Homo-oligomer: A and B are copies of this chain.
Amino acid sequence: MELKNSYVHGYDLKENIRLQDQASTLVELLHSDTIYPAGSKILEAGCGVGAQTLTLARNSPEALFTSVDISEHSILTARLNAEAAGITNVRFDQGDIFHLPFEPNSFDHVFVCFVLEHLPLPVEALKILKSHLKIGGSMTVIEGDHGSAYFFPDSESAHKAISCQVELQKRSGGNANIGRELYPLLHEAGFGTIHVSPRLVYVDAGKPELVEGFTKKTFTAMIEGVRELALAAGLTDKNTFDKGIQDLYRTTEPDGVFCYTFFKAVAF
């Protein structure tokens, strides 16, 4: 199964750069508290091009990671990225979450980041991943939530442009507002103890790195990236969409503010 055509963010080079940007500007916020013990075996499901993998592997240099992705192309890129970074504690495999080539109860921990948002059956995926956990193992899930985006100056056009992305992702079977749902999803998948920690990215002119790295290059670039698909699908018209993007960039001016929240859950 290859989701390439329905993966709304696309797999091109620009996207690759965006995901890397995202991981490097948000790395502290999202990953600094994920540290695995020496010798523990971790399954990273849906590693993509390895944007989070390098951070994970560096933060826990004595843990052993198995990172899988459904896209052969992404796995190849991830492997090259890891080699270039001198990472030696990760094994990369092409694999589908719904048909994993591993024994049940074979991992100490599972890590899933920006994956559930693309899956039509997120609870099923969590159940399968859970079956690969050893007793007492933990599951870490990180997802964004586009409904958590708000900004100053506020703009109806900007919200409309964002909703094009949300609608396209929905039509591909995904859910761009899944972050807020981590608690009920993990509960439904059978986890007992669930701790959800929201990570709000707050950006004002006092944080120029986030203005560039998050508001412009991560979030707005992502919304801008669905322009052609949104127009082709008749979700909006050119002027409204372009006004929305312009208004998102407007929030990066000296008096602008941009807020977005990621949700990180750890379940046992």
Contacts and interface: CB of A to CB of B under 8 A. Distances in A.
A76 to B, nearest CB: 37
A107 to B, nearest CB: 25
A148 B261 CA distance: 10
A198 B195 contact: no
A181 interface: yes
Given A148-B150, A150-B145, A259 B180 contact: yes
A211 to B, nearest CB: 12
Nearest 6 Cβ contacts at the A-B interface? A184-B255, A183-B204, A198-B202, A152-B180, A147-B150, A198-B200
A238 interface: no
Nearest to A184: B255
Contacts of A25: none
Interface string A195-219: 1111010101110000000000000
Q: Which of A151, A197, A204 has the most CB of B within 10 A?
A: A204
Interface string A171-204: 0000001001101100110000011111010101
Interface in A61-95: none
A115 interface: no
A150 B263 CA distance: 13
A200 B150 contact: no
Contacts of A167: none
Contact of A261 (B147, B183, B206, B259): B259
